[in-house]
Amino acid sequence: MTGSSRPRYAQRSLIVGVLLAFTLIFWSIQLFILMLALDAFLGKEYALLWPAAISSALLATLTLWLVRLIPREPRE
């Protein structure tokens, strides 16, 4: 293990941590949107279902994009 690999590993760990934090936040927002959509469906407010579905799909796309950004390099 050389001295230059330690900062690189720390930087990669920080990036992975930030990406996972944003992923968790987006999943929480998506769960909240799901609860709102179910409440609207049970309350027969069907006008809210399409905007909820579209925003949930956009959040899912953003979350998948963030997960793909996580570096897949093995530790050296």
Q: Please state the pTM of the whole predicted model.
A: 0.73
pLDDT exceeds cutoff 70 at 4: no
Name the residue ranges covered by the structural domains of the chain: 23-70
pLDDT in tens, 9-50: 778 888 888 989 999 999 999 999 999 999 999 999 999 999
Spatial separation of the C-alpha atoms in residues 45 and 72, rounded to whole Å: 44
- Reading phi first (left if > 0) and then psi (alpha if -120 to 50, else beta), residue 44 is in left
Dist. CA 26–CA 52, nearest whole Å: 14
37 in Cβ contact with 48 (< 8 Å): yes
